[in-house]
Structure 1
Amino acid sequence: MFTKTIQQFALVLFILCSLSTCYAQIKVGNTPNWVVNQSYEQNPDIDLKEISFGLLTLLSDEQIHIPKEERYIRIVRKITDNVGVQDGSMISINYDPTYQQLLLHNVTVIRNGKQMNKLNVNDFQTIRQESNSESYIYDGSLNAVNNLADIRNGDILDISYSIKGFNPIVGNHFSGATTLNDFQPVGKINYYIIAENPLQYKTLNSESAPKIGSYKGYKTYNWESTLTEKPLFEDNMPSWYLPYEHLFVSDYKDWNAVVNWALGIYETDLQLSTALKAKIEQIQKNWEDEGDRITATLKFVQNEIRYLGLESGIGAYKPFSPNKILEQRFGDCKDKSYLMVTMLRHMGIEAYPVLVNSLLGESLHQFLPSPNVFDHVVVKVVDSDNEAFFYDPTFSNQFGNYSSVSFPDYGKVLVIKEGVSTLEKIINNDKSLVEVFDIFELPTVGGPAMLRVMTSYKGAEADIMRRRYKSSSLSTIRDEFKSYYDNLYDGVEVIEDPTFDDDSIYNKIIVEEFYKINDIWEPLVGNEKNIAVNFAPYSILDVFISPNEKTRKTPFALFYPTHKKHNITVKLPNRWGVEKDNIKVNSKSFDFSMASKLDGSGRTLYLNYEYQNKNSYVAPEDFEDYYSKNKAVENILSYYIYIPKSEAINKPIYNTLGPDTDDLVSSIATIFYWVFAIVIIIVIGLVVFVIKRNKKG
C-alpha cells in the first residue's frame, strides 16, 4: 500500500511539474523570417453541400525548417453554418514541454472584411489531456487551449504558431508525413520543408511532385494542392487501408538505417542487477527445457510486470533499463519487451525487440523508412530448432506452451537485429476456434423452452474470454450473457449462473449457461396463422458481415482470424419428418457449411454450421464473388419450425420450414395426414369385415 501511494504521489508530482514548466514555454512572437507567406481564397470554388460540421478549411499550411528544428503551422477556416461556431471557436495545440516550446504568432478573426486581433497569451490554458490514460499511457504532452469569445457564423479564423524542438532521441535524422487532401474539400494545402540533407519522398494515391528550390544554401521541397477532393470512403474499410493522398518524407536511406538507429537504444551489453540475475537463475533452475524457459519468462513479464508507460520526451522511444523495470514492476510495451529479450538472451536464447504498427501493419510497406511509423514493440524468439515465434508481453493471462501462444495479426514488422534491412511479414498460424453447442428442449408446442449452452474457446479466443471473466464479476458476466440472449428471444430467464472451466495447458475455456425461454414461439413472418421457432447460428452471425453493394473499389474488412462451429440440438415433443440437408458454400474469402438431420426416433433435430474466413479482408477484385456467396449463405442461416396457432400447446409438430423450403412442406404434411387417416379407416373396415365373416362361419 505504501509503495502504491508513493508511485501515485510521484505521478501527481510529475504532472504538476510538467504543468508549471509548460506554461512558461508558451510565448508570443513574430512569424519566423524563413516562412514563405501563403495566399488563399476566401470564397474558393467548393460546393458547401460537401462541407461537414459547418467548417471549411481555406488554408492548411505546414512549414518545417529541419536545421533549426522548427515547425510552423497556419490554419485558416471559415464558419459556413452556425453549427460550426462550436468547433470553430476552439484552439487546441498539442506539444511536449520536455523538449518543445510553443510560440504563438497570430489569432485573427475576419468578419465582413474587417480583421480583429484575438491573440492574448493569457487566454490560453494548458491542459494535460492524456488521451491514452485509459490504456495506462502518460505521454507528458500538453494542449494549449483557447475558447475564443464572440465567434459568429460567416467568420474567418486565421491562426498560426510555431513549435520549436525535435525529439532528441532521433538525433540528426528527420522523417515526416502529411496528407494532400482531407475528409472534405479544402481550399489549399501547403507543405514546405527546408533541409540540409537530401530527402526521400513518396506519395500514395497522388501524382503530386514537389517544387525543389534553395534557401540560404539549404534545399527546399514544396508540395501544394488546391481545391482538393475528398477521398473515397466505403463502409467497413480495414483500419490499415490508406484512402488519403499521403505524402511521406524521410532521410533514412532504408529500413536498415532504422534498425541501426534502434540498436543504439536497445543496449546488448547491459550490466544486470543482482535482482535481475537472481530472477533469471530462478527460471533456469526451475525449468530445464528451452521451451519451458521461454514460457516462464513470458508469463513473468506479462503477469508480474504491470502495464504502465510514462512516455514524455525520449521516453516515447527509449525504454527504461530492464534493471529498473524489474525493480518498479511496471513498464510499457518497449520496457516489457526489452526486459523479456534481456532475460532470454542471458539464458542463451535468441531474442529480439520488434517494432510494430498495431493498426497499419498490413500497409507498412507503402511507407518510407522511419521510426515514426511504429507505435508498439513486441518480441521475436528463435528457438534451437531455428523456428521463430512472436510474443506480445503487454498481454496477460495467455496460456498454452511457447509454440502455441496466440499472437495478433500485426501484418508487417521490423525486427531489431543487426543486418536486417527489410520488413518481415508475420505468418498468422492462429488455431483459434469457438465451438458452440446449443441444446433446446421443446416439451410442448407454443410453450416455453429450456436452453443449455456450452461454448468452447481455444487459442486467442480463450485468451479473450479469460481476460473477460477475470476482469468482471460473475454477476456482471451473467447479466451480459442474458442481455445477449434477450436480443435473440423474448422472456429469457437465467436458470443457473454461467460456469467456466479453464484448461491452462491446452489454452481452452469451456463456458456453460442454462436458460428458460418463455416466449420462444412467435408468429411466422408472412403467415400470421402459424407460430414458429427460429434456430440460427448466432455466434457466426456475430462475425458474418453482409455488404449492401455488389461492387467495390476498396478492400472490405473481415473479422480475422475467425473459425466458428455452431451445433444446435432440438428435442421435439413428437416425431417430425424432414429431409436431410448438406450444403456447402466456398469462396475465395471464406468457407461455410450447413447440415441438418433427424435421429432415428424422429424426435431430435441436429443442425450443424461451420464458418472460417481465409483472410482479413476481401480485395476489390474478389468482392463480386464474396457478395454472391454471402447472399447464398444468408438464405440458409435461419432454420424455422412452424405449426398453426390452433394446434398450439401440447400438440405434436407436423410442419417445418428449413433451408430453401416453402409452404409446400405444409401441403405435404396435410396430404400425409389425410392419407394416413384414410389408411386407418380402411384397415379398421377390413378388420371389422374379417371379424363378421368369421362369426358367420
Structure 2
Amino acid sequence: MNRWIHFLLVTGLSALLALTPSQANTITSGEYSLEVSPAPDWATHETLQPLPAQLNNGPSHFRLVSRQVLVSPLTDHYFLEFAALAANHQGVKELSKLELTFNPAFESMKLHSLQVERNGVTSDRLAKARINIINQEPELVNDLFHGLATAVVVVPDLRVGDTLRYSYSLEGRNPVYGKQFGGYFQMGWEASVDLVNLGIINASGVPLQLKRHELPPATESTSKYGIEYHWRQTRVPRYSYEEGAPADVKWSPYVTFSSSDNWAAIVNWASGLYRFDNSPSPALTKYVNSVRAMGNQAKQIEEIVRFVQQEIRYFGIEMGQSSHVPHTPNQVFERRYGDCKDKANLMNFLLSNVGIESYPALVNTRSGRSLPEQQPSGVLFDHVINLVEFNGKHYWIDGTNHVQAQGLEQLTQPDFGYALVLRQGESALTAMPQSLPAVDSINVEQSLIASGYDSPVDMYVVSRYRGKEADRMRYQLQGVSTYDVEQHYLNYYAKLYPGIRLQEPVLIHDSKEGRNEILLREQYQIDNFWNVEGKNANFSMLAFKLTDFIQLPSVIQRTQPMAISGPVTVNHTIRVSLPQPVQVHVNGDDLIIDTPSLAYRSSELGRPGTLIRQHSLVLKQDRIPATESAEYFDALKKIDRDIYYTGTAEGDFTQPSNPGIDYLEQHLNTGNR
C-alpha cells in the first residue's frame, strides 16, 4: 500500500457503527481504554464520490481522506474519517488490520464507525471486530520510550471489492504546550484520492495563523463552534516523491496552522522549560568543582562536552510532558542517561557553572531547511542541541553525538539547516553553518608491490577519514568487530581480485585528541594479479573508494532535488611497483570535470617500472537541484568509466627484479605518521 495513505489508514484505528448517545460504551484492555460513541456534532460528514472508471493501480483504491480539528484554549479535538476499497487480496490483508497509536498520558480516543460497503449495501462490523489495546513503542529501537498505546482492530469478513469506511476522534493536547497549538496536514500522496476534506475550526480565542503550499485559499465561515476554514477537493491526483529527494522538499500540497505568528513567541514558551532551579546534588557539585579546578576554560568546555556526550548514555523516557520538559541536571547526572533535551539542559547547567555562555537550540533533524517556510510553532522541532559562545566564536554542539573527537576545534558542526536558539530577545531562526569539503575528507593510498609476474602481488591500503567522515566511520566501527571489518573489505576486493587473501590483521587507529582522524591499514596478497601474454603483462585497477559517492539514483529524470553525500573530498591514489623498470600503459586518459555540484580530476604519473594514478572527487554541496541533475548524472557516468581501467606492462619478463621493496620500506611505513 502507498506509504503515505497507509500511514493514515493504519494510524486511524477502526471504528464502529453509528451510535446514539445512550449507546456509548467503553472498551478496556489492561490499563488502557477507548470509548465507543457517536461522532461529535461539530464534525461534518462526507458522501463518498462515485467510483471512477479506472481505479488506482494498487492493492487499495482510496475513496476518502477527511481530517477535521477543533482547537480550543487548552485542548485539541480531531475527527478523522477514511474509506478505501480493497482491490485485490493484498488490499484485503492491509485493510483488515487497522492500528491507532495514541498517548494515554494526555489523549483519549473515541471510535465512531466501522462499516463495510459491498455491492451497494452497507453493514456494520463493530460487533464482530476484535479490538486489542497494547503498549507498542515504535521508537524503542532508537532508545526512546513514549508510553504509547496502540489499539489494533481486526475487521471481519472483508473481501475483494469491498469498501472499508471508519471514523474516530482524538482529544487532548500535551499540557506542556499550554495555550500553544499547531499542526501540519498533507494534502497529496503517492496515490490518487477520490475526495480529500480538511477542516480547521478555531475556538481558541486567539487568531489562527495559516500557511498553505500549492493550495487555493480556504473557504471561511463562522459557526457556533468558531471560525471555520475548509478545503474540499475531489479527484486529487497522485503526487510523486522522487527517491533520494531531501526530507525537507515539499513534493505535495500541505497546510500548516499555529497559534503563533512569530518565532519570539516560541522562544518565550520553550525557554521556560530549560531551567535548573534545584540546588546541585553533592555528587554533581563535586564534578563541577573538579571541572573548575582545570582553570583553562577551553579545557573545561572540552571536558563538559566529553562528559555529556560519552558518559551520559542516550535513552529517553518521554512520557507525557517529558516529551518536551527535560529532567533536572541532578536526575540526569545520577541516572547517567537522558535524551537530547536532558543532555542539552545538563550541558547548559555545567557550562554556566564555569562561566561559559550556552543556550539550548531547537532543530528539526529531517526538514530543518524548510523551517522558514513553515508557520512558527513548537511542534516543528524534534531535537535539541547547544549553541556555545566562547572567545568570539559560535560552536554548535550535539550532546547526543558520542562519536566526536575531543577538543573544541576538532568538533564537527551539525548542520540541520536552521535552529531556534532559546535566548532572551531571540526572534528569528538562525542559519547553521554548512560543512566544507576541505574539512570532511577521505584519503586512500593503495599500493601494489610485485616481485614477479608469476608470484603473488602485495597490496597495501592506507585510508584516512577526517572531519565528519571520521565521525561516520567511528560510528560504523563501534558496532562491529575487527574480524567483521576484515571480512567486509576482503570480500569487497575479491569481486575484482578473486585470488586475494588477508596477510595481516587490519590496523585501526583512532586519533580523537588533537585531531579528528581515523586511519585504517590493510595488507593483502593477490594471486593471479597478472595476465602475461608474450611481452605484455596485463592487470586491472579500480579506485574503489569513489564508487560509494558516484552511484546513480533510481530516478534519473528529476523534478525534485537529490540529496548526496557532500560536502566532501575523496582522494584515491593507486601506485603500482613492477618487478622491472618497464613501460606501463593504461587505457584511460587524464580527466577534468568541473560542474556547480562537483569537481573531479584524474591524472597519471610515473616512470619506468612505476605507475601512479591519482583520482580526486569534490562534492561541493549536499544536494543537487533538479535543474542541474542531468549535468551531474552525466559527470557521474564519466567518472564511473574513469575509475576502472586496465593496464599493460611491456618488456622482457624472463628476469624479474624487485625495486618495489625499497619503495615499500621508504613510503608505506609512514602510515602511522
Same fold (TM over 0.5): yes
In structure 2, how many angstroms separate the alpha carbons of the residues matched to 1:111 and 1:648? Answer: 84
In structure 2, how many angstroms separate the alpha carbons of the residues matched to 1:649 and 1:138? Answer: 68
In structure 1, how many angstroms separate the alpha carbons of the residues matched to 2:555 and 2:81? Answer: 40
Superposed counterparts of 1:253-652, under 5 Å: 253-267=261-275, 269-285=277-293, 287-383=294-390, 385-430=391-436, 431-445=439-453, 448-504=456-512, 505-520=514-529, 532-546=538-552, 552-574=558-580, 575-578=582-585, 582-599=590-607, 602-642=608-648
- 1:639 corresponds to which letter in structure 2? Y
Which residue of the other structure, out of 65, 68, 81, is the alignment partner of 1:63?
68
In structure 1, how many angstroms separate the alpha carbons of the residues matched to 2:532 and 2:430? Answer: 56
In structure 1, how many angstroms separate the alpha carbons of the residues matched to 2:62 and 2:49? Answer: 10
> 1:151 — aligned with what?
158
In structure 1, how many angstroms separate the alpha carbons of the residues matched to 2:654 and 2:212? Answer: 71
Cα gap change, 1:521/1:100 in structure 2, threshold over 3 Å: closer, same or farther?
A: farther
Cα gap change, 1:114/1:72 in structure 2, threshold over 3 Å: closer, same or farther?
A: same
Cα gap change, 1:500/1:328 in structure 2, threshold over 3 Å: closer, same or farther?
A: same
> 2:226 — aligned with what?
218
Aligned pairs, how many?
Answer: 621
In structure 2, how many angstroms separate the alpha carbons of the residues matched to 1:217 and 1:40? Answer: 25
Cα contact 1:446–1:649 (8 A) shared by 2: no
Shift of 1:532: 4.5
In structure 2, how many angstroms separate the alpha carbons of the residues matched to 1:160 and 1:250? Answer: 25
More helix by share: 1
* 1:585 partner SS: strand
Greater gyration radius: 1
Cα contact 1:490–1:520 (8 A) shared by 2: no
- 2:422 corresponds to which letter in structure 1? I
Is 1:96 matched with 2:103? yes
Query: Any unmatched runs of 5+ in structure 2?
Result: 1-26, 658-673
Cα gap change, 1:649/1:134 in structure 2, threshold over 3 Å: closer, same or farther?
A: farther
* 2:366 partner SS: coil
Shift of 1:522: 7.5
Shift of 1:643: 7.6
- 1:199 corresponds to which letter in structure 2? L
* 1:407 partner SS: coil
- 2:398 corresponds to which letter in structure 1? D
In structure 2, how many angstroms separate the alpha carbons of the residues matched to 1:322 and 1:415? Answer: 20
Identical pairs, percent: 27
Cα contact 1:51–1:185 (8 A) shared by 2: no
Is 1:29 matched with 2:34? no
More RCO (CA 8 Å, sep 6+): 2
Deviations 1:544-564 (A, max 9, x none): 233688753211221123211
Shift of 1:623: 2.9
Cα gap change, 1:70/1:235 in structure 2, threshold over 3 Å: closer, same or farther?
A: closer
* 1:232 partner SS: coil
In structure 2, how many angstroms separate the alpha carbons of the residues matched to 1:160 and 1:363? Answer: 32
Which residue of the other structure, out of 195, 198, 203, is the alignment partner of 2:207?
198
Cα contact 1:445–1:651 (8 A) shared by 2: no
Is 1:166 matched with 2:173? yes
In structure 2, how many angstroms separate the alpha carbons of the residues matched to 1:121 and 1:420? Answer: 56
In structure 2, how many angstroms separate the alpha carbons of the residues matched to 1:449 and 1:169? Answer: 66
Is 1:83 matched with 2:90? yes
Cα gap change, 1:514/1:176 in structure 2, threshold over 3 Å: closer, same or farther?
A: same
Cα contact 2:573–2:612 (8 A) shared by 1: yes
In structure 1, how many angstroms separate the alpha carbons of the residues matched to 2:28 and 2:441? Answer: 52
Cα gap change, 1:270/1:428 in structure 2, threshold over 3 Å: closer, same or farther?
A: farther
In structure 2, how many angstroms separate the alpha carbons of the residues matched to 1:523 and 1:110? Answer: 75
* 2:409 partner SS: coil
Moved more, 405-414 or 261-270: 261-270
Shift of 1:530: 9.3
Shift of 1:89: 0.6
- 2:393 corresponds to which letter in structure 1? E
Cα gap change, 1:433/1:650 in structure 2, threshold over 3 Å: closer, same or farther?
A: farther
Shift of 1:228: 1.0
Shift of 1:29: 0.6
In structure 2, how many angstroms separate the alpha carbons of the residues matched to 1:520 and 1:606? Answer: 17
In structure 1, how many angstroms separate the alpha carbons of the residues matched to 2:288 and 2:637? Answer: 56
* 2:84 partner SS: strand
Cα contact 2:583–2:649 (8 A) shared by 1: no
The CA RMSD over aligned residues, in Å, is 2.7
Moved more, 464-473 or 225-234: 464-473
Shift of 1:374: 1.0
* 2:191 partner SS: coil
In structure 1, how many angstroms separate the alpha carbons of the residues matched to 2:652 and 2:189? Answer: 61
Shift of 1:578: 4.0
In structure 2, how many angstroms separate the alpha carbons of the residues matched to 1:194 and 1:629? Answer: 52
* 2:475 partner SS: helix
* 1:463 partner SS: helix
Shift of 1:523: 12
Cα contact 1:445–1:650 (8 A) shared by 2: no
* 1:259 partner SS: helix
In structure 1, how many angstroms separate the alpha carbons of the residues matched to 2:209 and 2:30? Answer: 34
